[in-house]
Amino acid sequence: MLRLQPIILLQNFALIFLILFQLCSCSQESEEHIEIKGIYGHPNPLWEKGYSLQELGINAVFVHGASIDSALMERAKKEGIKVYAEFPTLNGKNYVEKHPEAWAINEQGERVEAASWFMGVCPSDPGFREYRLGQLDKLLNSYDIEGIWMDYVHWHAQFEEPEPILHETCFCNSCLSSFAEDKNIKIPEGTTKDKAQWILQNKDTEWRDWRCHVIYDWSVLIRNRINEQKPETLLGLFHCPWNDEEFEGARRRILGLDYDLLHDVFDVFSPMVYHARMGREPIWVEENIRWFCERMNIKRGETPKVWPIVQAYNNPYIVSAAEFETVLKGGLAAESSGVMMFTTRAIADDKKKIEAVKKVYLE
């Protein structure tokens, strides 16, 4: 038996070595899978406090397209930071007031009111479409950004609330005529309210499908525009994170977001998992990302990717540093390969949240 001990020792050493090798490989593989360690919002609040983005582990900024200028691009380049532009696709604020024909109309035949702080627009209005495409062209031709992130990509509503505001829209003449033509449906004569009620009672399935395709068409339109001008530019989507059943299927039914239609259009999906704003527990972020990755059959290293945006912002209550760390880690769950937080200023104004960023992004 004594002669067998060296063999047993060698076997044990080999087993220990194999375990350590696997642990190191898993750690390295995990780090490699985290492509994006981002912030949402202009970096100035951090720069003004003397931070470099690199020392915090940040490698990407997502910022409103209108806020991008040469100074931002130059400093980001010096720090090795990627810049992505948020593009507020169907936000009608400051447009519908000057172009009332683009105002969304509800099932009562009336102009909708702002949903909380959001003012939508009629997605079928041709004038608004040309207006947005002009802004996209200008953005693409002005700066060498890494990607365009479409935002407000839904029909008029507000999902960033515990009790969302879910309007039935849009029943303007443009939408009614487009729906009738696309679906080969004859809508009976009557008032706008009469037509809306007839559609909801008799052609509801066709109506929901059509609305989803309007959102899909917007997505494809912008995808094609990018491919024509700068095909290396990524296309991402900030979107409502509800599953298929929440609020009676309102993500598809009201917002017009059909994941199956959109799956092959975008390079990256960024679920807006704002736990505090939406009245959820911090652990919900990880649960949602796991669900979404499975629902969309996301695989690391493949397209589309998942880079969620989580909440650091203190609304409607103060989000603690510990809570923020939980949601930041939750955003990297499952097959996610990146994460960002809303907003830059929310972390710049809280040293404990800065430490949470460093802990997750650097360690």
CATH of the domain at 275: 3.20.20.80
pLDDT in tens, 13-52: 444 444 444 444 443 334 458 999 999 999 999 999 999 9
Indicate whether 354 pLDDT > 50: yes
**Is residue 16 included in any domain, yes or no?**
no
What pLDDT does residue 174 have?
96
> Who wins on pLDDT, 21 or 321?
321
Indicate whether 200 pLDDT > 50: yes
Indicate whether 317 pLDDT > 70: yes
Task: Work out the number of other CB atoms within 10 angstroms of the CB of residue 95.
Answer: 17
What pLDDT does residue 30 have?
44
Model confidence at 236, pLDDT cuts 50, 70, 90, reads very high
Q: Which domain holds residue 96?
A: 34-105+118-166+212-362
Mean pLDDT score across all residues of the chain: 93
What pLDDT does residue 172 have?
97
What pLDDT does residue 28 have?
39
Indicate whether 3 pLDDT > 90: no
Average pLDDT value for residue range 205-219: 98
**Is residue 79 included in any domain, yes or no?**
yes
What pLDDT does residue 32 have?
59
Indicate whether 8 pLDDT > 90: no
Indicate whether 90 pLDDT > 70: yes
What pLDDT does residue 124 have?
97
**Is residue 174 included in any domain, yes or no?**
no
Q: What is the DSSP letter of 135?
A: H
What pLDDT does residue 176 have?
98
Distance between first and last Cα of the chain: 47
Please tell me the least confidently modeled range out of 1-10, 122-131, 170-179.
Answer: 1-10
Average pLDDT value for residue range 205-214: 98
> Who wins on pLDDT, 17 or 307?
307
**Is residue 172 included in any domain, yes or no?**
no
pTM given for the model: 0.91
The residue among 140, 138, 302 whose CA lies nearest residue 227 is: 140
Task: Work out the number of other CB atoms within 10 angstroms of the CB of residue 117.
Answer: 8
**Is residue 9 included in any domain, yes or no?**
no
Helix (H, G, I), strand (E, B) or coil at 311: strand
Q: Tell me which long-range contacts 314-323 makes (C-beta under 8 A, separation of at least 24).
A: 314/346, 315/276, 315/277, 316/276, 316/277, 317/276, 319/276, 319/346, 320/352, 321/350, 321/352, 321/353, 321/355, 321/356, 322/356, 323/276, 323/282
What pLDDT does residue 33 have?
83
Q: What percent of the chain has pLDDT over 70?
A: 91
pLDDT in tens, 250-284: 999 999 999 999 999 999 999 999 999 999 999 99
Q: How many domains does one find in the chain?
A: 1
**Is residue 178 included in any domain, yes or no?**
no
CA max distance for the chain: 99
Indicate whether 2 pLDDT > 50: no
Rounded-to-integer distance, Cα 157 and Cα 120, Å: 7
**Is residue 22 included in any domain, yes or no?**
no
**Is residue 194 included in any domain, yes or no?**
no
